[in-house]
Amino acid sequence: MRYTSTRDQRVTKTSQQAIKQGISEEGGLFVLPHLTDYRIALQDLLGADYETIAQHVLMTLLPDFNTASLKKAIHLAYRQNFSDKRITPIRKVGDFHVLELFHGPTSAFKDVGLQLLPQLMRLALDLEDRIMILAATSGDTGTAALQGFKNVPQTGITVFYPDHGVSPIQEQQMLTTTGKNTRVFPIAGNFDQAQSAVKALFTDTGFAARLQAEQVTLSAANSINIGRLIPQVVYYFAAYLQLVNSHAIQLGEPVNFTVPTGNFGDVLAGFYAKALGLPIHKLIAAANANREIADFLDTGIYDRNRPFLKTVAPSMDIQISSNLERLLYYKSGEDSAYVAMLMKDLAKTGRYQVRSDVLAAIQADFAGGFATDEQVAEAIAKVWQQDGYLMDPHTAVGYSVMQQYRATGDTTPNVLLATASPYKFPRAVTKALDLPVSGDDFSLMKQLQQVSGLAIPANLARLAGMTPQPKHVIAPAAMGTAILDAAKEVFDDDSRVRSGNNR
Ligand SMILES: *Cc1c(COP(=O)(O)O)cnc(C)c1O
C-alpha cells in the first residue's frame, strides 16, 4: 500500500515519505489509491475513546508507522492539550447537532491536525534530517502550526499570513508565539498569493539546492500534507459514534455533515471517512462570499477569475481550494493525467471544467452552497436567540448553507462542524448580536462573556496582556529569502534543535 501523486501515477511513497515531503516533486498532492478497499469496523469502536478511534483510523491510512509509536504519538497530541476529554464533543442545538472542533490550544479546528502532525513528522524523520515547515495561512493554520511545531527537534517553522487579512486575535496569537524555531511573516498580498508562492517554492529546484547547502529540506503544515489531513478523518468517526452511543441515531443510519470550507481539507477528510465505510449521505461544503467551490459543485466549472473578497469569515477567504485536486483524482477514476491537465488549465487560465461523469460522481457525495456576510450575521443572531448557542462566523456560514440545503427536502440528520470558538472573532459576533462595538477585540470578548455566560478559552484570555513581536511585512517575492535566512538561524545552533534519537 503506497501513496502516489494526484498528477503522476508513477510516483510511489510510503506514508512516512509523503508526510516528510509534504507535496510531490511535480506539484501534485499525495493520495492513497483505492481508498474504498480499506474499512473501519464501526461496531468494534462503540464506546471507544477518541485516542482509540484515532489509532484505528491512523493504522489503516498510515500503515508503515509502527503501531506502538503511533499510539504514543496520538497520546502525546491529545492527552492534555484539549479542554474537553472527548476532544471533539457533539452538542445538540435545536434540531441538529454541532461538532465542536475548537477545544484545542488555539481555539480552532486546525489544532486537531496540527497537534498530531509534528508527532508524525518526528517519527518519519531520520537522524540527519533537518526540516523547515512552511505554512501559508489565512489565520488559523499558522497559529496552530506554530503551537504544534514550536521547539520540536530537527524542525523549524516559517509562517506567512496576509497582512490585514487575518483577525486581530489571530495576528496577536501568531506574533506572540514563543519557540526558538518559529518565524512569522505578514506578506503584502492575500492568502492565495501566499499559498501559490509556497507551492512554487516546493517545486523550485534552485531553491531546493540552496536549502540543501544548509542540509535543510522543506515540508508543509497546510492540509496539502496528508499528515495534517488524515488526523481530521478521525473526528467524523468520533462524531458518529457519539451520536450512536447517545441513541440520537442507530448504528448504520446515514447522517449529513455540513462543513465550513476554504481549502477543502476538512470536508475532504469527511470524504475519506465515507470511503472507509462511515454512513454519510451528503457532505455539504459551505463557502462564504468567495464562492468558487460552491459554484463548482453546482456546475463543474471552477473559475477563480473574479474579485477576491474579504469577509467576516477570513479563514475561508480562499479562491483556490487546493484539496479539491484530491477529490478530482478519486472521482476521475484515479486518472492522474487528467488531473494534471485540469491543474495546468487552472494555473494558465484560472479556470477548468470537469467532464460530466466526473461532476455526477462528485454530486453523488457532495452538495455546496455559500453565505454572504449578511446571512452570516443573521445566522449568528438567530441561533443565539432561538437555541442559546453562540457560533463563530465560520460556523455560521455552515449553518446558513445547511439550512439552505435542508430546504431542498433532505431529512437526513445533520451535523454541523463548528470550526472556531466565537471568541476568536469577537467583533463580527458582537455586531451580529447588535451589541455595542467599542474598544479593542479583547474588551469585546469580555462583553460577549457577560452577555453569553460562556467562558473565554484560557489561551485567548491570556493573549490580552502579551507584547507581540514587531511586524516585518515582506513582498511575496521575498518569501524564499526569508525562509533561507530562517533556516540558517534556526539550524545554526545544531545542538539545540537536533536532539539525536527521537524515536
Ligand atoms: C481553515 C478553516 C476553515 C476552512 O477549512 P478548510 O480545511 O481550509 O476547508 C473553516 N473555518 C475555520 C475557522 C478555519 O480555520
Ligand 1 pocket, 223 CB below 6 A? yes
Torsional sign, CA 298, 303, 304, 309: negative
pLDDT at 458 over 70: yes
Residues near 124 by beta carbon (within 8 Å), at least 6 away in sequence: 16, 17, 19, 20, 227
d(CA 465, CA 186): 22
Ligand 1 pocket, 199 CB below 6 A? no
Nearest to 236 by CA among 198, 207, 269, 263: 269
**What is the best residue among 109, 146, 173 to mutate for testing ligand 1's pocket, by most ligand atoms within 8 Å of CB?**
109
Ligand 1 pocket, 365 CB below 6 A? no
Ligand 1 pocket, 322 CB below 6 A? no
d(CA 161, CA 168): 12
Contact 176, 463 (CB under 8 A): yes
CB atoms within 10 A of CB 365: 18
pLDDT at residue 492 in the model: 83
Nearest to 279 by CA among 313, 231, 236: 236
Residues near 129 by beta carbon (within 8 Å), at least 6 away in sequence: 20, 154, 217
What is the DSSP code (8-state) at residue 316?
Answer: G
pLDDT at residue 494 in the model: 55
Q: What percent of the chain has pLDDT over 70?
A: 98
pLDDT at residue 493 in the model: 62
- Cell 467599542 belongs to 438
Atom of ligand 1 nearest to the CA of 318: 8
Q: Rounded to an integer, what is the distance from CA 81 to the centroid of its chain?
A: 18
pLDDT band, very low/low/confident/very high, at 273 (cuts 50, 70, 90): very high
Residue 315 CA to ligand 1 center (angstroms) comes to 6
CB atoms within 10 A of CB 282: 21
Q: Dump pLDDT digits (tens) for 17-41.
A: 999 999 999 999 999 999 999 999 9
Q: What is the enclosing helix (H) or strand (E) of 263?
A: none
Residue 261 CA to ligand 1 center (angstroms) comes to 6
Residue type, 286: A
Ligand 1 pocket, 158 CB below 6 A? no
> How much is the pTM?
0.94
pLDDT at residue 500 in the model: 43
Residue 101 CA to ligand 1 center (angstroms) comes to 11
Q: What percent of the chain has pLDDT over 90?
A: 92
**What is the best residue among 261, 288, 324 to mutate for testing ligand 1's pocket, by most ligand atoms within 8 Å of CB?**
261
Nearest to 446 by CA among 428, 462, 426: 426
Residue 211 CA to ligand 1 center (angstroms) comes to 30
d(CA 52, CA 239): 14
pLDDT at residue 129 in the model: 93
pLDDT at residue 162 in the model: 95
pLDDT at 498 over 50: no
Residue 263 CA to ligand 1 center (angstroms) comes to 7
Residue 259 CA to ligand 1 center (angstroms) comes to 9
**Beta-sheet strand order (sheet of 90-93):** 90-93, 96-100, 414-418, 255-260, 280-287, 366-370
pLDDT at residue 195 in the model: 87
Torsional sign, CA 489, 495, 496, 500: positive
Q: What is the enclosing helix (H) or strand (E) of 6?
A: none
pLDDT at 496 over 80: no
Q: Dump pLDDT digits (tens) for 41-59.
A: 999 999 999 999 999 999 9
Residues near 298 by beta carbon (within 8 Å), at least 6 away in sequence: 368
Percent helix, strand, coil in the chain (nearest 5)? 50, 15, 35
pLDDT at residue 203 in the model: 87
Largest distance between two CA atoms of the chain: 62
Write the residue with the smallest CA distance to atom 2 of ligand 1: 315
Q: What is the enclosing helix (H) or strand (E) of 417?
A: strand 414-418
Ligand 1 pocket, 136 CB below 6 A? no
d(CA 310, CA 96): 29
Residues near 23 by beta carbon (within 8 Å), at least 6 away in sequence: 29, 30, 199, 202, 203, 220, 224, 225
Q: Dump pLDDT digits (tens) for 382-404.
A: 999 999 999 999 999 999 999 99
Q: What is the enclosing helix (H) or strand (E) of 104?
A: none
Ligand 1 pocket, 419 CB below 6 A? yes
Residue type, 172: Q
**474 forms bridges with which residues in the sheet?**
187
**Mean pLDDT across 464-486:** 94
pLDDT at 502 over 80: no
Contact 13, 22 (CB under 8 A): no
Q: What is the enclosing helix (H) or strand (E) of 499?
A: none
Q: What is the enclosing helix (H) or strand (E) of 296?
A: helix 292-299
Residue 205 CA to ligand 1 center (angstroms) comes to 30
Strand 96-100 relative to strand 90-93, pairing: antiparallel
Ligand 1 pocket, 336 CB below 6 A? no
d(CA 154, CA 262): 30
pLDDT at 371 over 70: yes
Atom of ligand 1 nearest to the CA of 285: 9
Q: Dump pLDDT digits (tens) for 204-228.
A: 999 999 999 989 999 989 889 999 9
pLDDT at 479 over 60: yes
d(CA 139, CA 222): 12
Torsional sign, CA 306, 308, 309, 313: positive
Query: Active-site residues: which are they?
Result: 110
- Domain 114-225+467-502: give its CATH code: 3.40.50.1100
DSSP 3-state of 8 = strand
Domain-by-domain residue ranges, the chain? 114-225+467-502
pLDDT band, very low/low/confident/very high, at 451 (cuts 50, 70, 90): very high
Ligand 1 pocket, 324 CB below 6 A? no
Average pLDDT, the chain: 95
Write the residue with the smallest CA distance to atom 8 of ligand 1: 263
pLDDT at residue 1 in the model: 82
pLDDT at 501 over 80: no
**Mean pLDDT across 453-474:** 94
Ligand 1 pocket, 394 CB below 6 A? yes
What is the DSSP code (8-state) at residue 318?
Answer: -
**What is the best residue among 315, 319, 324 to mutate for testing ligand 1's pocket, by most ligand atoms within 8 Å of CB?**
315
d(CA 480, CA 205): 12
d(CA 329, CA 482): 34
Residue type, 71: K
